Amino acid sequence: MSTAESKRAAQRAQNNREELVERIASALPEDGTLDVLSSLRIARSSKPTEPIHALYQPAFCFVAQGRKQAMLGEEVFRYDPGHYLIYTLDLPLTFQVKEATPEKPYLGFRLNLDSSTVASVMMESGFEPQKGNARLKALNVSALDADLLDAAVRLVRLLDAPTECKVLAPLIIKEIVFRLLVGGQGARLSHLLTATGDTHRISKAIGYLRENFNQMVRIDEIAHELGMSLSSFHHHFKSVTAMTPLQFQKQIRLQEARRLMLGEDLDAASAGYRVGYEDPAYFSRDYKKLFGAPPQRDIAQLRNNLAL
C-alpha cells in the first residue's frame, strides 16, 4: 500500500470511529443500555462500572469509545476501540467498563451471534466449518480491521433509518459474520454449529450444566454419556471455557442465587438452597470469592447503587 493510500485508509478509519461515537451517543444520551434490534444492544457509561456477572450467549462486542474488560474464569480479556471481543459459546462472564468519564463516556455495542446466520454465511461463502477445534478457547480479543469497522458503522447508521433497518440490518450482520470468518475467527465460529466431534460434545455438556445447575452432577457420567474419557472431557472443557465443569456449574449457581436475592428478595440461606447449596457457610464463602463481598453486604450495595 502506498503512502497516499495508507493516509486515506487512516483518515477513513478515524472518520468511522468519530461517526460511531456520535451516533451511539445520540441514540443513547444517558447512561444505560438500549436494545435497538433483537440481536443488537448499545451501551453507555460515564464512569467505570462495577463487575457485572451473567451468563451470556455468543456475541461480537465492540467499543466505540472507552475501554472494557471481560473475565472468563481467572483470565482477563481487555478490549478498546482498536480491538473487538468475540465469544462463541454460552459462557458465565464478568464484564466491567474500565475507562469512561462524563466528557468521554464509554460507548459500545454487543451483537448476538446466531448459529443459523453463521451457517448461512459459511455456506454462501464456501467456508468449510473447521473440526477438531475443541481445544480452542471460545473467547478471544482481536485487532479490529478497517472492513469490520466499516460494517459496524453502517449497522449503527441504521438506528436513524428504521424503514431501511428491516431490510439492510440482516445483510450487514451477515457481512460482519463474513468479516469475522475471513479475519481468522472461522474455527471459533464453528463452535456455533451443531456439528459432530468434541466441540459439539462440549457444547452439549454446557447446555446440560446450565439446565441442571442446581443438581448434584457426576462429571464421569456426563463424560460417559458424551462418549469421552473423563480426562479428555476435563481437558477439552477447560480448554474451551477456561474452567472445569464444576467451576462452570458453580458460577451459574452463584449468579442465579444473586438474581434470586436481588429480584425475589430471598435471604442468603434460601437462595443458596434453591441453587443447590446445602451448607449456608459454604455458599457464603463461594459467593464472597466470586462477588467480592458476603451475600447480605453485596445485595445491599447493589440495591443502594440501583437507588442512586
Is 1.10.10.60 the CATH number for 198-307? yes
Domain ranges in the chain with CATH number 2.60.120.280: 3-192
In this prediction, residue 4 carries a pLDDT of 77
Percent composition of the chain: helix, strand, coil (DSSP 3-state, to 5): 55, 20, 25
Judge whether residue 277 has pLDDT over 80. Answer: yes
| Strand residues in the chain grouped as ranges (E) | 32-35, 40-45, 52-56, 59-65, 67-72, 75-79, 83-87, 91-99, 106-112, 139-143
From the number of C-beta atoms within 10 Å of its C-beta (0-12, 13-18, 19+), residue 91 rates as buried
Domain ranges in the chain with CATH number 1.10.10.60: 198-307
Q: Classify domain 3-192 at the CATH superfamily level.
A: Regulatory protein AraC (2.60.120.280)
How would residue 306 be classed by pLDDT, with cut points 50, 70 and 90? Answer: low
In this prediction, residue 1 carries a pLDDT of 61
HSE-up (13 A, CA, CB side) for residue 112: 15
Give per-residue pLDDT as tens, 217-259. 899 999 999 899 999 999 888 888 889 999 999 999 999 999 9
- Whether the predicted model's global pTM rises above the 0.75 cut: yes
